[in-house]
């Protein structure tokens, strides 16, 4: 870890590049933790689709369990773990919606089957049978046989605006290196933690 690095987003970019070169698949996979208004947590994997100084973006069904929890309590935590590098990054912060233009642009970039799948999946709700899902896919495919497919209004993205970013690196004898960036009034403050 470069001890002079003071921009956690730049450092994250470096680690993500290294993970992209070494991970067999989905280096952008991250565990997303949300919680209910009363503080009961839940966690699942999602894919990081954008990151810059504003935060970490993922896309999902707004009517899913996570979507409901984020509507009730717009705070989240993310955890990346790259086994090939023996490194992890943790992110915590408030969550905001991406703009409609951002969501439209990302949705338009997805494979046609994935755009149809976004319409077909009533994510997180009970599924009576696999056939019911396939029937919905067939119906959406007939609705949009060719040309543009509009983005469903229940499908969009969230940005986790980081207030804390931790970089963890494996070291011998479990004396791991932990470097934490806290959002300060200007820029970031940095501290090391015992492993
Ligand atoms: C590697 C991986 C990546 C995933 N990426 C996404 C994603 O980007 N968006 C999403 O909605 N679900 C994604 N999923 C599925 C979620 O883990 C989860 O099953 C789904 O979003 C429903 O979660 P919920 O019921 O807590 O809302 C991914 C699963 C895995 C294993």
- Confidence at residue 98, expressed as pLDDT on a 0 to 100 scale: 98
pLDDT tens profile 76-128: 999 999 999 999 999 999 999 999 999 999 999 999 999 999 999 999 999 99
Q: Is residue 127 part of a domain?
A: no
Q: Is the CB of 46 under 6 A from ligand 1?
A: yes
Measure the CA–CA gap between 68 and 96, rounded to whole angstroms.
13
Q: Is residue 2 part of a domain?
A: no
The catalytic residue positions are: 174
Which of 23, 28, 60 gets mutated to test ligand 1 (max ligand atoms within 8 A of its CB)? 60
Q: 22: CA distance to ligand 1 center in Å?
A: 22
Measure the CA–CA gap between 136 and 155, rounded to whole angstroms.
16
Q: What is the largest CA-CA distance in the chain?
A: 59
Q: Is residue 141 part of a domain?
A: no
Rounded to an integer, the average pLDDT of 124-147 is 97
**pTM as predicted:** 0.96
- Confidence at residue 3, expressed as pLDDT on a 0 to 100 scale: 43
Of 113, 112, 100, the closest CA to residue 154 belongs to 100
106 is in an annotated binding site: yes
Higher local confidence (pLDDT), 30 or 2:
30
pLDDT tens profile 9-61: 999 999 999 999 999 999 999 999 999 999 999 999 999 999 999 999 999 99
Atom of ligand 1 nearest to the CA of 60: 11
Of 140, 154, 148, the closest CA to residue 66 belongs to 154
Measure the CA–CA gap between 87 and 83, rounded to whole angstroms.
7
174 is in an annotated binding site: yes
Q: Which domain holds residue 47?
A: 8-100+155-193
Token pair for residue 98?
């991406």
- Confidence at residue 6, expressed as pLDDT on a 0 to 100 scale: 85
CATH code, domain carrying 12: 2.30.110.10
Atom 11, ligand 1: residue with shortest CA distance: 60
Residue 86 zone, left/alpha/beta (φ > 0; ψ -120 to 50; rest): left
Q: Is residue 89 part of a domain?
A: yes
Atom of ligand 1 nearest to the CA of 61: 11
- Confidence at residue 118, expressed as pLDDT on a 0 to 100 scale: 98
Evaluate if residue 140 carries a pLDDT over 80.
yes
65 is in an annotated binding site: yes
- Confidence at residue 93, expressed as pLDDT on a 0 to 100 scale: 98
How many CA atoms, within 13 angstroms, populate the side-chain half-sphere of residue 67?
16
168 is in an annotated binding site: yes
Q: Is residue 108 part of a domain?
A: no
Q: Is residue 175 part of a domain?
A: yes
Q: Is residue 51 part of a domain?
A: yes
Q: 51: CA distance to ligand 1 center in Å?
A: 18
Q: Is the CB of 127 under 6 A from ligand 1?
A: no
Evaluate if residue 1 carries a pLDDT over 60.
no
- Confidence at residue 102, expressed as pLDDT on a 0 to 100 scale: 98
How many structural domains compose the chain? 1
- Confidence at residue 29, expressed as pLDDT on a 0 to 100 scale: 98
- Confidence at residue 123, expressed as pLDDT on a 0 to 100 scale: 98
Q: Is residue 118 part of a domain?
A: no
Q: How many other C-beta atoms can be found within 10 angstroms of the C-beta atom of residue 80?
A: 22
Q: Strand runs (DSSP E) across 98-187, as ranges?
A: 155-169, 177-183
């Amino acid at each position: 870890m470069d001890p002079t690095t003071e921009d956690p987003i730049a450092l994250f970019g470096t680690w993500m590049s290294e993970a992209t070169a070494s991970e067999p698949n989905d280096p952008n996979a991250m565990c997303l933790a949300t919680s209910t208004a009363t503080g009961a947590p839940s966690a699942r994997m999602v894919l990081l689709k954008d990151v810059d100084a504003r935060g970490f973006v993922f896309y999902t069904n707004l009517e899913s369990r996570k979507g409901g929890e984020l509507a009730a309590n717009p705070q989240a935590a993310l955890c990346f773990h790259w086994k090939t590098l023996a490194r992890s990054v943790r992110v915590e912060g408030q969550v905001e919606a991406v703009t409609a233009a951002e969501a439209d642009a990302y949705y338009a970039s997805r494979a046609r089957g994935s755009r149809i799948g976004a319409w077909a999946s009533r994510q997180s709700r009970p599924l009576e049978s696999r056939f019911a899902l396939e029937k919905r896919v067939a119906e959406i495919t007939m609705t949009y046989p060719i040309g543009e497919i509009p983005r469903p209004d229940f499908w969009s993205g969230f940005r986790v605006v980081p207030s804390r970013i931790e970089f963890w690196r494996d070291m011998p004898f479990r004396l791991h290196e932990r470097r934490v960036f806290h959002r300060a009034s200007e820029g970031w403050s940095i501290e090391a933690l015992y492993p």
